[in-house]
Structure 1
Amino acid sequence: MSERSQSFPPSSGILSDPSGPVPAPDSLRGHLVALENGQVLIGEDLRGQKDVDDYVFRISEYLERSGKPGALKIVYIPDRLLSDLLRTIHPPTDATETFYGNEFADGFDLFSEEENPETSGEPEPKRKNEEPDDRLPAPGSVPGKPSPESGGSPSISGQKNLIGEPLECLSSPREGTPSLFRAPAEIAPTVLLFSDGRFYVSREHRDNQHVNYYYRHFVPELWSKVYTDRPVPRPQFVSYEALRKIRREHFPEELPGDVYQAEGDEARKVMEIIRDAIRKRASDIHIRIEKDRTRVLYRIHGWLKPVQTLTHEEGERLARIVYNTMLDSSGRDTMFSDKKPQDGQFRQDYLPRGVFNIREFHAPTLGAGLGTVTMVLRLQYGSGGEAAQVTDIDTLGYDARHLAQIRFLMGLSHGIILFAGPMGSGKSTSMAAVLAIVLSMNPVEEGRGLHLVTLEDPPEYVIPSASQIAVPGGKFSDVLGRIMRFDANILMIGEIRDEATAEKAIEGAMSGHVVYSTVHSNDVLSIPRRLDGLKVRRDLLADPTIFRGMICQRLVPVLCRECRMTFRESEQSALVSEDLNNRIAGAGISPEEIFFRRKDGCQTCESQGIVGRTVVAEILLPDQEILDLVSGGRMTEAWRYFSEVLGGRTMMDHAIDKIQAGDVDPRDVESRLGWLHKGYLDRKTLQGIVGGFS
């Protein structure tokens, strides 16, 4: 065997493994590595020891029996490098021992100052009198394709590299292929080292200490020992997008939608969790990294449900993989931190079928830097990378009076219509359903169409014939000033969350547009007060020709009719407390009308006891009197006027109707709206509820 083939990395295994053909004795385990190609890498401190000489003699005998006489080659390397090498070959099962690079190796710098790749984000300049390195493609070229300068031929998967060996990715080898240069799972997606010496590093991740150690120390030191006849690879810094493109160019079998398969078990685990959550129609995934464990929970029909428990270390690795490799890199920190809140959105090639967007947010819990973090993934459903289709408004849960009021609002030619409620209350779903009907009432095909322009972060639903504009970061006020020249009849703003957006929305309503938007508010009469907090002028807040309609709502779980429990069954199961019984009676609900959720459910509801969620709402078509009362802070009088003069019904009134229809569990209503009561919550009603606890 030639010297060149002797120096090539192993292709079929490690001789010194306990299960290998020549296992190393216990005294040497962890201090040397014997490779199938005849190389024996030994820690420098063992030079000259008798047990090392004995073991090398056994390796020599094995190579002779295997038809490889003369292949033996002994290389002494620093213990630190050998330790890191062993950890890449056999990642420890205890995640706390996972190799992240020697964080204290900065004292050793392989590169001189003039060629240190950390000094610039651009490819390094050639030194004087230096011959071009034929191993590296020209700047801007795509590996695997001929360079204009070199006129070389493509080198793709399945072809030979420059020394006649099959081209392999050493940093992320295929499953079952050993590699001395395997990058740890946490950084594997950010580096790409090929067996022909080409070496790419993500520019966005270059300052990470683990990536930094890999390209500055681990690869150069080990390469000089393993490939004694080849120059040390010099990293080229490219964008993360380009890095992923290079991988796909070389390994076309890794389809874009499945590229995460090359990026470690943690990425596959994350995708399994997301797909399972999609199958169960979860709206959110919580990954709670606690001191001694990690809990994964799904929010299904508004309730959090634990689905699996992992170790603390597993959860930490999952969170890092999500943030460091799966999120769009624009507008966010480059690396995960457990010391501050961070957020982002998933990259398109990591979105499974069934969702068009996933938002990520995480923050430290129990104090920064303690390793306890909660990460929330918000699933936004759609298909094929597109937003979901709008839902028929008649199926959302509004009652007949609500629908009549909404249809009145659909015919307005100017003014603001606001949907309110906390996150997850169905505001965007209801607003999209209303707007879809408005456009269908004015078809473009008949020559009387309307132009609807939406500003969203990002668009959640496909509204036919609308111009839907994504506004990254939700900075709607930056776009609203120019949108007025977009020839729009109707404007939809994803959310009014700041003073500038509120001001622009009112300007639009006063200039002949209908403006739809959402706000976060507790109830329908708190909507003007919420806008007052955003510095909207009070004379404008009290103008019913500007504020035309206000809708506040919640979503309440719908009981499975196949397994729901009657009041009597629930009493026998001790589900009905005495104070709940008192509130049910105080609300005028007959026990025969009430049903409760069965904890374990049935086959029909997939063991959940609930089959969906329904809207409970209150709608205000304001007049001058009620706006004056609200702007003057006379809320009790305003609620009385809403109920007695305007004939308004509160969300609680609507929920009680659904309890009496057997559609919802009274306990679920209380979890969303507070204690059961009839009408608005005045002093007398409040005293009655408190008295029920005594």
Structure 2
Amino acid sequence: MVEETEYLLISRLEIGSLFAFQIQISRLNSQHKRQVIGLALVAEEDYYRVIEHVSLKQISDANQNINITDTQKQLAAILQRAVNMGASDLHITRNDVLAQFEARVNGVLMPFMQIKSHLCDELVFVLYNVEATTRDTTWNRAIPQSANILYSLSGKPYRFRYAHFPIFGETPDCYHAVLRIIPSGLQKENIGSLDKIGISPEEIDDLKKILSNPYGAYVIAGTTGSGKSTTLKNLMEWLQINRYDDRGCFLTVEDPVEYQIYGAKQSSVVGVEGGGFHAAIKSALRRDPDVLMVGEIRDNISANALAGAVESGHYCFTTVHAGNIVSLLQRMSALGIGSDKLSTPGFIAGLQCQKLVPVLCNNCKTELDVWTISGRQFTVYTAGEGGCPQCKHSGIKGRQLAMEYFLPTYEELATISKQEWLNTFTLWRNKRKTASGLTEGFEIREKVMAHVLRGRIDAKWYAMEFGTMAQEDLEMIVGKIQ
């Protein structure tokens, strides 16, 4: 990006025949949603000079007055530009000759910059060895490593979570690194409100029921980038303010600490195995907590430590990686929390799976089709070709949280005790019939479909992500939405 309305694409094309060349130009048009209006043919050595010059010029204007080394200055400008774009992650793919940078904005990877690989190594070396506040050892591209970096940009604190892993190339120097961008410091807007989560009032009422339990495990599942940490932060802040009146002892054990949580005493346990987590949880339990949050259950040791905390009468938050409610139960069982514990009344305060989905730009979305369901007509939309300046030509303007959740009944607990997962699923799904709105019993895909019918989510994207939906499920959704 040179400006919001300008786009420079640098690519290598193999010219075998005129027809093949035209095909490659068409493919570039499709991939980048732009019409190629100019073309420059340069020698290979000039190709790399152009890439280096343009990419470094894009970041040279930021932080000019900072008295630091050139590499640190370039690094600060890169991070500032990523933050200005609203990126959640910055991907760095270091190949043999070139390093490609991509920014994830609203869930979509977008081209960011390209530089020569040796310059990328210098940037990452400084980032890891000089700027990192917590890290494993000295930077080594040949082994997996992670780090936590605190950085101030334009007077605002940020936390960057770094991880890299070696990848295949012609030389052993290639790697893929990702920087997760996390606003640091206490976010003071609407502290203690669940409205900012972005779900319906009926869903908020159900979450408050989960939070009203005197003890138990509240487990949140989702893939990387599904907003689990943000949801945890909002839930804990609501609990501290509304249930404990700012007087609760809230302790966390995280790897590492991400968001600062109002009213919580947070601890980082970085780069240690489950035993370290177990020791940290035991220490937290000795410090008289009202609420304990364990960042993630990763093995039998941490799972059993969490189970012990719940059984001793504490309210505990944690996360795992799972795709839906039943697989979440199975995952907890596989990690060593037996069905006898899972089925004990009060052990599970609530289970939740969630996903962040891209929201269409209202300014440039285009009508795709009109669907008729249960006698009602719904206009569905898709992203406008090429986007517009308002959405930075992505067609997407923000993301929407979609979640499914589980408040166990005695009947469901009986099926869990026998590991009758299909019966558990059937009982949970039957709750749709008596639900007031799209609440418990509805799956993530059904709640996303409701947004498709409201014209907020791309119908084409939905079909690629979730596939088709049975007519009876569509009719059930339509019966619950206004």
Q: Does TM, scored on the shorter chain, surpass 0.5?
A: yes
Q: CA deviation digits over 1:18-42, x for unaligned, max 9?
A: xxxxxxxxxxxxxxxxxxxxxxxxx
How far apart, CA to CA, are the structure 2 residues paired with 1:678 and 1:390? Answer: 41
Change in CA separation of 1:413 and 1:640 when aligned onto 2, cut-off 3 Å: same
Match of 1:332 among 119, 123, 136: 136
Which residue of structure 2 aligns with residue 664 of structure 1?
457
**Structure 2 residue 297 is matched with structure 1 residue 513:** no
SS of equivalent residue, structure 2 residue 72: helix
Match of 2:467 among 675, 685, 691: 675
Which residue of structure 2 aligns with residue 438 of structure 1?
239
Alignment of 1:385-404 (within 5 A): 386-389=185-188, 392-404=193-205
SS of equivalent residue, structure 1 residue 472: coil
Q: CA deviation digits over 1:344-367, x for unaligned, max 9?
A: 122x46666444311111111116
Structure 1 residue 304 displacement after superposition:
0.8
Which residue of structure 2 aligns with residue 272 of structure 1?
77
**Structure 2 residue 267 is matched with structure 1 residue 469:** yes
Match of 2:407 among 615, 618, 621: 621
How far apart, CA to CA, are the structure 1 residues paired with 2:325 and 2:144? Answer: 32
Match of 1:532 among 325, 333, 353: 333
Which residue of structure 2 aligns with residue 145 of structure 1?
none
How far apart, CA to CA, are the structure 1 residues paired with 2:305 and 2:349? Answer: 17
Which residue of structure 1 aligns with residue 255 of structure 2?
457
Alignment of 1:102-501 (within 5 A): 261-264=67-70, 266-328=71-133, 331-334=135-138, 336-346=139-149, 348=150, 353-366=155-168, 370-382=172-184, 386-389=185-188, 392-442=193-243, 444=245, 449-473=247-271, 475-501=276-302
Change in CA separation of 1:350 and 1:623 when aligned onto 2, cut-off 3 Å: same
Are the counterparts in 2 of residues 558 and 614 from structure 1 also a CA contact under 8 Å?
yes
Which residue of structure 2 aligns with residue 237 of structure 1?
none
Structure 1 residue 468 displacement after superposition:
2.6
Q: CA deviation digits over 1:548-586, x for unaligned, max 9?
A: 200110000112212211115xxxxxxxxxxxx9xx88x
Change in CA separation of 1:269 and 1:612 when aligned onto 2, cut-off 3 Å: same
Match of 1:607 among 393, 405, 425: 393
**Structure 2 residue 423 is matched with structure 1 residue 637:** yes
How far apart, CA to CA, are the structure 2 residues paired with 1:629 and 1:679? Answer: 29
Structure 1 residue 539 displacement after superposition:
0.9
Change in CA separation of 1:343 and 1:559 when aligned onto 2, cut-off 3 Å: same
Gap regions ≥5 residues in structure 1: 1-92, 96-256, 569-580, 682-694
Number of matched pairs: 403
Change in CA separation of 1:333 and 1:462 when aligned onto 2, cut-off 3 Å: closer
Are the counterparts in 2 of residues 389 and 463 from structure 1 also a CA contact under 8 Å?
no
Are the counterparts in 2 of residues 390 and 433 from structure 1 also a CA contact under 8 Å?
no
Structure 1 residue 646 displacement after superposition:
6.4
Structure 1 residue 654 displacement after superposition:
0.6
Which residue of structure 2 aligns with residue 84 of structure 1?
none
SS of equivalent residue, structure 2 residue 68: helix
Structure 1 residue 400 displacement after superposition:
3.2
Are the counterparts in 2 of residues 652 and 679 from structure 1 also a CA contact under 8 Å?
no
Q: CA deviation digits over 1:366-425, x for unaligned, max 9?
A: 16952221111111113xxx2544764213232233212101112110111111111111
**Corresponding letter in the other structure for 2:87:** A
Which residue of structure 1 aligns with residue 380 of structure 2?
594
Larger CA Rg, structure 1 vs 2: 1
Structure 1 residue 94 displacement after superposition:
12
SS of equivalent residue, structure 2 residue 390: coil
Are the counterparts in 1 of residues 311 and 347 from structure 2 also a CA contact under 8 Å?
yes
Are the counterparts in 1 of residues 96 and 170 from structure 2 also a CA contact under 8 Å?
no
Are the counterparts in 1 of residues 233 and 261 from structure 2 also a CA contact under 8 Å?
yes
Structure 1 residue 260 displacement after superposition:
7.6
> When the two structures are superposed, what TM-score results if normalisation uses the length of structure 1?
0.53
Are the counterparts in 1 of residues 80 and 153 from structure 2 also a CA contact under 8 Å?
no
Change in CA separation of 1:589 and 1:342 when aligned onto 2, cut-off 3 Å: farther
Q: Which moved more, 1:517-526 or 1:359-368?
A: 359-368
Are the counterparts in 2 of residues 455 and 469 from structure 1 also a CA contact under 8 Å?
yes
Structure 1 residue 606 displacement after superposition:
3.2
> When the two structures are superposed, what TM-score results if normalisation uses the length of structure 2?
0.75
Which residue of structure 1 aligns with residue 443 of structure 2?
650
How far apart, CA to CA, are the structure 1 residues paired with 2:128 and 2:264? Answer: 33
Name whichever structure is richer in strand by fraction: 2
RMSD: 3.2
**Corresponding letter in the other structure for 1:309:** Q
Q: CA deviation digits over 1:110-158, x for unaligned, max 9?
A: xxxxxxxxxxxxxxxxxxxxxxxxxxxxxxxxxxxxxxxxxxxxxxxxx
Q: CA deviation digits over 1:311-349, x for unaligned, max 9?
A: 233333333332333323x55222x33322222122x46
Structure 1 residue 588 displacement after superposition:
7.8
SS of equivalent residue, structure 2 residue 397: strand
SS of equivalent residue, structure 2 residue 427: helix
Change in CA separation of 1:484 and 1:288 when aligned onto 2, cut-off 3 Å: same
**Corresponding letter in the other structure for 1:508:** A
**Corresponding letter in the other structure for 1:472:** V
Structure 1 residue 636 displacement after superposition:
3.7
Change in CA separation of 1:94 and 1:324 when aligned onto 2, cut-off 3 Å: farther
SS of equivalent residue, structure 1 residue 558: strand
